[in-house]
Structure 1
Amino acid sequence: MIVYFPKPYKNELYYSILARYHFYSGDIHPSYTLKELTGRARRINFEVPIGIDNLVTKAKIFSSTYSRDYFINNHTIIPLVRPFKKKEWIQKLIGSNFEGLRHNLFGNKEDDIKLKEHLYYCPECLKEQFGKYGEGYWNRFHQIPGIFVCTSHRVALIKRSVDIHNIYGIEFVVPRIDDIKKEQKKYKSDVLRSLLNLAEDVDYLLDKNFDAFPAEFFYEKYVTLLEMKGIAYPMLQRGNRLKNLLLNYYPHEFLEMLNSSFISNSSWLPKFNSNNRITTLQPIRHLLLMRLLCGSARDFFENEYLYKPFGTGPWICMNPLADHYLKKVVKKVEVSVHEANRAIQGDMKCSCGFVYRMRAWEKSPLDIEYFNNRIMKKGHIWEQKFNEFIEQKLKINEIARRTKMSRPTIRKILRDREKSSDSILKEEKKYIKISEKTSEYKKIWIDLRAKYPEYSRHELNNKNRAVYTWLRKYDKEWLEANSPDVKKVYRGRKKGYSVEADYDFLHKTQKIISTWSEFEEERQKLMRKSKYRLQKILGLGENFDSIRIKYPLTAAFIESIVESTDEFRRRRVRNVLEVKFRNEEVSFHEVAEASNLRSYKRDEREELKQYIQKLVEEHNKI
């Protein structure tokens, strides 16, 4: 039980709360404080609140607001990371009381944004803290990787000299009033502006305290924004185009500070061809992309984006035979990607059935030079009017004038119609012949069944294969309904014992064992004579119980020559002494190391140790 607990200040870092408690508690050693508050006496983690459950148990007597969620959401940097991680990852981390964190929250790869190695603070904030509270504290916002300015005072943060990641043991550091006087770093105006923008986006996320979003949320929104920027297609070029856009948008010095300038050949940008890598992208880099593509993190999370390469419509109808020609009545556009050049295209679909295609860069269909090549479908109105022109026997020149098409195009349409009519006629004739023949064969099949009522389906088929084959192809449903039921015959496949096969496998096994040393030489290492390995060499995929039943002689021989694990270890020791240390004096540890026997079982250790020691002594006497 504790008799005092410091009231946490707004955005105070979890570590800072512990440090202030230590300062006022009078504990001689920091480990006492850490053990008392968190139940741990090991090193401090500056990113996650290790031991928080123990702290909450002791601190909640001072305020009912002190809970696990209270400290996580208000005094750690987890709210910045949480929206971008999988929900299961966050639940597992918190559920394990933060013991399961193998890596830091921001990654530890060489090309990741580097963690801060020191505590940072704003001198103006510190001055206000001492003036208002009589003491200072560490702001969680200022400790986030990539944050080097204060959004409240728009000045650079100052680095405290203590290296927080190389503290030997445990140390609690609190701000001093003398820290206010330290000199601040000056940034170029464009770098300062980028740093402030990033800091504002981080501030927004900490304030909103979002839960985890699904990876699809980010992937789909990013792709929409890439489309709006005109760099989404071709998909294989997304990464390079986005990289160039980012390098042109942010100052190089700013990207260098965030280890994100692409100096190495590797790129930290996702490929944006699936949502798999979205959850591995660092939060700060997410914010860089959001600011680049839509203006800010606030805009990204609070606005909906729709890709409309052709505007909002309505669009004009290009059907010259409709009464709404050139009027804005088209309300539907179907956007797709061209299969060959991967460019964006849109099919404008009018209610009259007329469909024409435009490219994303085209402003008006009236400006398209060869527009007739863009007509995807003419529709029922156009076809109806065209048929009327044919019935009225209008000349080709007049039809071409009314349809806004050339005379060769009209001639081609007429030729295609004739071919289509001929094709339809042929199909109709073919269908009639098939129907007549099917009816005829049905009668024959019925007669066969009446003549041979006891015959099976197979026997009726043998009587007239042509009829059965035809009906199966053109009216299978009728044939099934008018045929005898299929008689199911079950044939056992169980094989009996074969002496020949057993002897054959036995001889093969004996030959393998007699040439085992050659087998090991080919693989350049010792191999244990195990049941599994012999089965694999012989090609016997069954479990060993099946082999005992099918090939008892072979199974008995295998069981008589297999090596136990201990026998194989001893053979390995003998081999090392005979081959590697031949004519050399050697120690016990050298033999154990060379034999790879460092991880043998504890209960076998003494016996094997004595065996190795005995062989080493005998070897060194020679």
Structure 2
Amino acid sequence: MMTFFPVPYKDELLYSVLARYHVRSGNVSIKATQKDIYGIDSITAIMDLPSHIFRIMENLPVGHRYTSEYLITNHTLYPFYAAFLPVGHAAKVKESMIGDTGGSIYNRIGLMASSVKFNQYFKFCPKCANEEMYNLGELYWHRIHQIPGVLVCPEHNIPLYDSQVPVRGYNKHEYRLATPETCKINTPEMNYADKITDKVINFTEDIEFLLNNSVANKSLNWFKEQYLTRLKELGFATVNGRIKQKELLRSFLDFYGHRLLEIMQSSIDNYNNNWLNDMLRRNNRTSHPIRHLLLIQFLGISISDLFNKKVEYKPFREKPWPCLNPAASHYLKPVITDMELKYGVDSKSPIGIFRCNCGFVYLRTGPDHNDEDRYKKTKVREYGPVWEAKLKQLTEQRLSLRETARQLGADPVTVKKYAKKLDLKTYWIKRSEKVEKGKSPIKQDSTVEKRDGYRGEWLNLKKQYPSKSKTELRQLNNRVFTWLYRNDRDWLNRNSPKLKSIANDNYRVDWERRDEEIYNNALVAVNDMLSVGKPIRITISSIGSRIGIRPLLEKHLDKLPKTKWYLEGKTESIKDFQIRRLQWAVKELQDDGKDLSLWRIFRKAGIRENFQKELMEEAIKLVIGQNDM
């Protein structure tokens, strides 16, 4: 039994308190200290989640006011590890810590199967150590400093350093004290980039919150729903809950960077098989608290809201919303409080129907990603009496159709439609009737201006490159050449370089050497064609066009045996190419979080209806294969 018990310091590990007891007791043998503390001498000294705490309570000095709950909550890492466990799991972990079944703790929490490993050495903050020696005359091990992923001290915002005391010591029963001798900086001064430092500090603050606040344990499904709702708001998931994996992972990696994720033992090297995908997909699997905290910081959810506030899906953010009626005096002001939320049948996107008291009703497809999106509309359902009154006023002012449409924020066709509906007499209708049928001065002027612009560009190109041929000039600006060829061909022919006669040098071709060169170029071309986004059919012509020798391959392939052998193995039939397009379409749709419907796959792959029946079996196999994964 203990005759005294050191008063625990703020954020001190129970391990550290017992280490201080060992020194102050004067016991030479650690076994004697163990008997004082536990009544037996075979207990393993555990830093983070110790067990046998009921034995400590039985051996505390008479008159103490400590409880098992107090020691576990304030002086072990239980609040951190148990925060993301369901209620039943957390209760069993606490029971194991109080009782003699400590061997099951790590399995219950999932740490044995986790890829996030413990720190190898106890960590310390140099400033904390100096202040403790000055104010207390001794050092102690802080809880928060020992959590994997905590890189800075929350008190001083400076990097933590490894001490010389291993977390798993040589003597598993021994409690090692923090001392000035064991807490010396033996490594170069550590500095993190500002971008990393900010994220690390926020990360540490979230851990400090978990250690010092009693959070209500939630089900694993609670966390998944919180994350999924926020993913929808950010556009990383569809409204039906399908996550856009490729976009999410790309943004997640951009946010943290590979280096910081590596330090946090949470690297993502495989886009299809990684901890983030597992965490969001599986309902029955616990994840390390570090990874929950990395995800909530990326999603912009506060640690307090995660546990205490149900995240609601608000694709159009908070009301009130602006009225987008240019005819109203409150144009662009946030006056709309009536919004109906619906979902698109095909796009699976949220659709907001906004109704203003002025009668203006508009639709917007969401979700909104920034404040500017609030001022956009997808479609106007009703213009309302205020807008119609403004239309009447503008027609009486005899403004042009385009000016009227501009002031009303509508296209000319809509303005004419409503003018007819309201039986308004309009200036632009009378004017249009005067224009000679089939002729439009404005259109003629714009066509001439466009033609002169292209002619000028071609002449400038010809002047800039006087030695180049017509074909070479075309390659420099195919846009200009194509327009002139289609619309002004006679002028183009008169104002192009004359065809140069080509001298016919009679020389022998080294076909063997040429075969080797073309073979190497074909290898590169095929690899490039297979790595581009949308599939390109691999044929002799397409490869030849890519490396600029199409006529040579089409006419003289028999003189290039090595190239011919390679191309015969790589070229695709129409059906082979269609199957590859189906494979690409399935992968793209899955990465974008869209349903793998057969019609959607065929449309994405660009397969025409007359080929779909023949390819139906292949498409079904691909869908079944993805669903089984």
The one-letter amino acid of 2:105's match is L
2:12 equivalent in structure 1: 12
1:171 equivalent in structure 2: 174
Asked if 1:256 is matched to 2:259, the reply is no
The one-letter amino acid of 2:351's match is Q
Match of 1:108 among 93, 108, 112: 112
- Write out per-residue CA displacement over residues 484-515 of structure 1, whole angstroms, 9 at most, x where no aligned residue: xxxxxxxxxxxxxxxxxxxxxxxxxxxxxxxx
**Could you tell me how far 1:401 is from its partner in structure 2?**
4.0
State how far apart, in whole Å, the 2-side matches of 1:365 and 1:128 are: 52
1:498 equivalent in structure 2: none
State how far apart, in whole Å, the 1-side matches of 2:149 and 2:140 are: 20
| Change over 3 Å in CA distance of 1:2–1:205 after alignment to 2 | same
% same residue: 28
State how far apart, in whole Å, the 1-side matches of 2:280 and 2:267 are: 22
Q: Does 193-202 or 348-357 show the bigger shift?
A: 348-357
Any conservation in 2 of the 1:349–1:355 contact (CA below 8 Å)?
yes
**Could you tell me how far 1:159 is from its partner in structure 2?**
1.2
Match of 2:353 among 338, 347, 354: 347
**Could you tell me how far 1:326 is from its partner in structure 2?**
11
Any conservation in 1 of the 2:216–2:307 contact (CA below 8 Å)?
no
- Write out per-residue CA displacement over residues 368-398 of structure 1, whole angstroms, 9 at most, x where no aligned residue: 68x4xx75x999xxxxxxxxxxxxxxxxx99
Q: Considering only CA atoms, is the larger Rg found in Structure 1 or Structure 2?
A: 1
Asked if 1:240 is matched to 2:246, the reply is yes
1:585 equivalent in structure 2: none
- Write out per-residue CA displacement over residues 213-263 of structure 1, whole angstroms, 9 at most, x where no aligned residue: 344543333233223323222743344333222211113222111111202
2:86 equivalent in structure 1: 86
Asked if 1:205 is matched to 2:210, the reply is yes
1:194 equivalent in structure 2: 199
Listed as ranges, the gaps of 5+ residues in structure 1 are 380-396, 406-622
Q: Does 140-149 or 100-109 show the bigger shift?
A: 100-109
State how far apart, in whole Å, the 2-side matches of 1:131 and 1:366 are: 60
1:417 equivalent in structure 2: none
**Could you tell me how far 1:114 is from its partner in structure 2?**
1.7
Count how many residue pairs are aligned between Structure 1 and Structure 2.
385
State how far apart, in whole Å, the 1-side matches of 2:141 and 2:417 are: 83
State how far apart, in whole Å, the 2-side matches of 1:364 and 1:199 are: 34
| Change over 3 Å in CA distance of 1:352–1:275 after alignment to 2 | farther
State how far apart, in whole Å, the 2-side matches of 1:15 and 1:204 are: 21
Any conservation in 1 of the 2:16–2:177 contact (CA below 8 Å)?
yes
**Could you tell me how far 1:140 is from its partner in structure 2?**
1.0
**Could you tell me how far 1:344 is from its partner in structure 2?**
2.6
Any conservation in 2 of the 1:317–1:350 contact (CA below 8 Å)?
no
Any conservation in 2 of the 1:123–1:179 contact (CA below 8 Å)?
no
1:290 equivalent in structure 2: 296
State how far apart, in whole Å, the 2-side matches of 1:119 and 1:341 are: 53
State how far apart, in whole Å, the 1-side matches of 2:18 and 2:144 are: 17
SS at match of 2:83: helix
Match of 1:276 among 260, 283, 287: 283
2:45 equivalent in structure 1: 44
SS at match of 1:276: coil
**Could you tell me how far 1:88 is from its partner in structure 2?**
0.5
SS at match of 2:364: strand
| Change over 3 Å in CA distance of 1:102–1:360 after alignment to 2 | closer
**Pairwise CA RMSD of aligned residues?**
4.2
State how far apart, in whole Å, the 2-side matches of 1:292 and 1:327 are: 32
State how far apart, in whole Å, the 1-side matches of 2:235 and 2:422 are: 33
TM-score by length of 2: 0.53
Any conservation in 2 of the 1:270–1:281 contact (CA below 8 Å)?
no
Any conservation in 1 of the 2:234–2:367 contact (CA below 8 Å)?
no
TM-score by length of 1: 0.53
Listed as ranges, the gaps of 5+ residues in structure 2 are 385-414, 424-629
State how far apart, in whole Å, the 1-side matches of 2:243 and 2:422 are: 39
Asked if 1:68 is matched to 2:68, the reply is yes
The one-letter amino acid of 1:160's match is S
**Could you tell me how far 1:166 is from its partner in structure 2?**
5.4
Any conservation in 2 of the 1:345–1:358 contact (CA below 8 Å)?
yes
The one-letter amino acid of 1:107's match is L
State how far apart, in whole Å, the 1-side matches of 2:216 and 2:62 are: 28
- Write out per-residue CA displacement over residues 531-571 of structure 1, whole angstroms, 9 at most, x where no aligned residue: xxxxxxxxxxxxxxxxxxxxxxxxxxxxxxxxxxxxxxxxx
State how far apart, in whole Å, the 2-side matches of 1:223 and 1:399 are: 44
State how far apart, in whole Å, the 2-side matches of 1:180 and 1:192 are: 23
Any conservation in 2 of the 1:347–1:357 contact (CA below 8 Å)?
yes
**Could you tell me how far 1:356 is from its partner in structure 2?**
5.7
2:320 equivalent in structure 1: 313
The one-letter amino acid of 1:268's match is W
2:467 equivalent in structure 1: none
The one-letter amino acid of 2:170's match is I
Any conservation in 1 of the 2:315–2:367 contact (CA below 8 Å)?
no
State how far apart, in whole Å, the 2-side matches of 1:355 and 1:202 are: 47
